[in-house]
Structure 1
Amino acid sequence: MPRCYHCGERFDDLYKCDKCNQYYCYLHKDPINHECNIVKASLELQYSSNEPSHDYLNSHNQSSTNYAENISSTHQQQPNYQSSYSESSEIRGTTDGTFTWYRRESNIPDNAFSPNSGIEFKGILLPYKPEFLHLLIGSVLIYIIGLMGFYNPQNQQLLNDLGFGWIIFMVAGFYTTAFLFHEFGHRQVAIHFGLQTKFRLLKFGMIITAFGLLMGLISIASGVQGLPGLALPGAVVVLGLDKIDKKTGLCKAAGPTVNLIYGSILFAVSFLISIFPINLFIGMAASINFMLGLFNLIPIGILDGENIFKWNKKVYFFLVISMLILIIINYISIYLPPASNPYYI
């Protein structure tokens, strides 16, 4: 039974990637899920370092053809073949006599984010610019969307009359830090495990952010306040998370966990401050963190929830239930009638 080139697990049916010419399981068949560009770079490094002989290349081409034919046919027990390569060469023999390169973290260039690495990062805007520039652009865009989303002419006039017109800038700042702290959570845990990681602006995310800016302008022009537009200008890119294990699970869980902790701190602080409406808006800032964390726990697509759920269901449900409980308590506290609202007392 053949193995997935990405995770190494055995599957009856594999899918060939036309870009790197390797075979993958249904979980890793899409290029984005098996880091296709890095796979191609790794193969080139291995070819250049191993320098296989002409006879070996001929035998490998023949075995690769047999391997492709076996993918679509019924797999039967084949005699074992002994590979003449050591484990350190990253080449392992399979039961049908072919050779498959199983990618390891050591195959990722040490300078993967450098323009000299030979790796092309598709879907990333300004891929080789300094991380600080990416963070600066992303932060400014999120902050602007936060200002637009929380701005309401009537409420702002009331806040100005009370001498608290600056609060909208404070809330937009909390909105920005909720996003940044979430990404920093991923980043720092990845660094702890020795993985290469950087915050990068995403092309698709910038399209979503542009739409959020447009909705903010429409909200201001119409005088109708709404929630801040969706802002996803970038994300932390982590290299080396090859399979769903404790390392991957902790890296993914770090983002929502940071939102849970940060939101809980803000929620507690909102009750310690007796100045209205500062306490109320800090409570709203706490809800932003809880909702952002809960959104990322949805177990679909590229969100954190899918990998956390597959890694450890107990951790997943602990985070989800904690977020839900705090959102409910927070919502009740904010929208209670003034006579019984803790923020008004």
Structure 2
Amino acid sequence: MFKFTSNEVRDLIIAFVVISLCFAIVNGRGDINAAISMLPIVMVGVGAGFILHELGHKFVSMKYGYWAEFKLWPQGLLIALITSFFGFVFAAPGAVYTYANYMTDEINGKISIAGPIVNIILALIFLAIATMVYTSAAYSETYAIIFIVCAVGYSINSFLAVFNLLPIGNLDGSKVLRWNFGIWIITIAIAAILTLMSMTMGVVNIVRLIIGF
């Protein structure tokens, strides 16, 4: 059963809002008016991606009997906001801290990989929904909005997965790599392919390729 402290809920909300704004700025290409227009759309992808990523860590930690709590990193939020004006987001607003006297590399690796796996699954779900509504989007404003939301959701979640799997500092990738190189390389390869396709092909072309349009 999940248990949250009031400070944890506050930190999650702050991180969610700021990170959503950062991705909106990137998608709006630095234009504040465009960013504001994009914000509601981006918040769906970031809301699902960021919150469920952190809850993935928390769930696995608590499954092993540890107390886990998300804590905000204010400097990380500031870095994310600054980098967003340069066209990318260094998304490190905070982390789920697991409190344990001792933890094996295997358990730490499994807790760490849970977040990126959630992002990969969400990216694929968003892509699947985008594929299903693509044809109808040409005739329906509602379906067109759903397609845009899913396209952004796919792009954000694939990026979050590959970013967090980088074996740098205290990111998830360092812990997963320390536990199992094979699992790390497979997972980051999947995330990297999804991200590369998003950046080079675009979601519209990916969907057209899937449906053979």
Q: How many angstroms does 1:271 deviate by?
A: 0.6
Instruction: In structure 2, give the amino acid aligned to 1:315.
Output: I
Cα drift, residue 134 of structure 1:
1.8
Deviation at 1:333, TM superposition (A): 4.3
Q: 1:186 aligns with which of 52, 57, 71?
A: 57
Instruction: Write the letter of the residue equivalent to 1:199.
Output: F
Counterpart residue identity of residue 186, structure 2 = F
Name the CA distance, whole Å, in 2 between partners of 1:214 and 1:309: 29
2:18 partner amino acid: L
Segments of 5+ residues of structure 1 without an aligned counterpart are 1-127, 157-164, 220-225
Q: Does 1:141 align with 2:18?
A: yes
1:214 Cα deviation (Å)? 4.8
Query: Which residue does 2:141 correspond to in 1?
Result: none
Q: Distance in 1 between matches of 2:180 and 2:209?
A: 38
Measured against aligned partners, the alpha-carbon deviations of 1:194-223 in whole angstroms (never above 9, x if no partner) come to 101111112xxx12322443566xx5xxxx
Match for 2:41 among 170, 173, 182? 170
CA pair 263-300 structure 1, distance change in 2 beyond 3 A: same
Q: Calculate the aligned-residue CA RMSD, in Å.
A: 3.2
1-structure distance, mates of 2:178, 2:8: 30
Q: 1:307 to 1:244 in 2, by over 3 A?
A: farther
Alignment correspondent of 1:197: 68
Within the alignment, does 1:332 sit opposite 2:201 as a pair? yes
Does residue 171 of structure 2 align to residue 303 of structure 1?
yes
TM-score by length of 1: 0.49
Contact 2:54–2:96, Cα closer than 8 Å, also in 1? yes
Native 8 Å contact 2:120 2:157 kept in 1: yes
Where does 1:1-345 land on structure 2 (aligned, <5 Å)? 130-151=7-28, 156=34, 168-202=39-73, 206-214=74-82, 219=85, 227=87, 229-240=89-100, 242-274=102-134, 275=137, 277-278=144-145, 279-330=147-198, 331-334=200-203, 336=205
Q: Equivalents in 1 of 2:70, 2:56: separation in Å? A: 11
Task: Give the paired residue count.
Answer: 196
User: Quick one: higher RCO (CA 8 Å, sep 6+), 1 or 2?
Assistant: 2
* In structure 2, C-alpha distance between the alignment counterparts of 1:316 and 1:154, rounded to whole Å: 37
CA contact (8 A) 2:15 2:77 kept: no
**What letter is aligned with 2:69?**
K
Q: Which digits, 9 at most, give the CA deviation of each residue in 1:210-240, with x for residues without a partner?
A: 2443566xx5xxxxxx635434332111111
Contact 2:44–2:153 (CA under 8 A) maintained in structure 1: no
Residue 168 of structure 1: how far off its partner (Å): 4.3
- Tell me the amino acid that sits aligned with residue 171 of structure 1: V
Whether the 8 Å CA contact 1:280–1:334 is kept in 2: the answer is no
Q: Distance in 1 between matches of 2:51 and 2:183?
A: 22
Look at both structures and tell me which one has the larger radius of gyration over its CA atoms: 1
Secondary structure of the residue that 1:272 maps to in structure 2? helix
Cα distance change, pair 267–335 in 1 and its aligned pair in 2 (3 A): closer
Task: Give the alignment's TM-score, normalised by structure 2.
Answer: 0.76
Q: Measure how far apart 1:144 and its partner are.
A: 2.7
Contact 1:333-1:341 within 8 A present in 2 as well: no
Distance, in Å, in 2 between the alignment partners of 1:227 and 1:335 is 21
Gaps of 5+ in 2: 139-143
Distance 2:168 2:82 in 1: 27
Q: Indicate the percent of aligned positions where both proteins have the same amino acid.
A: 26
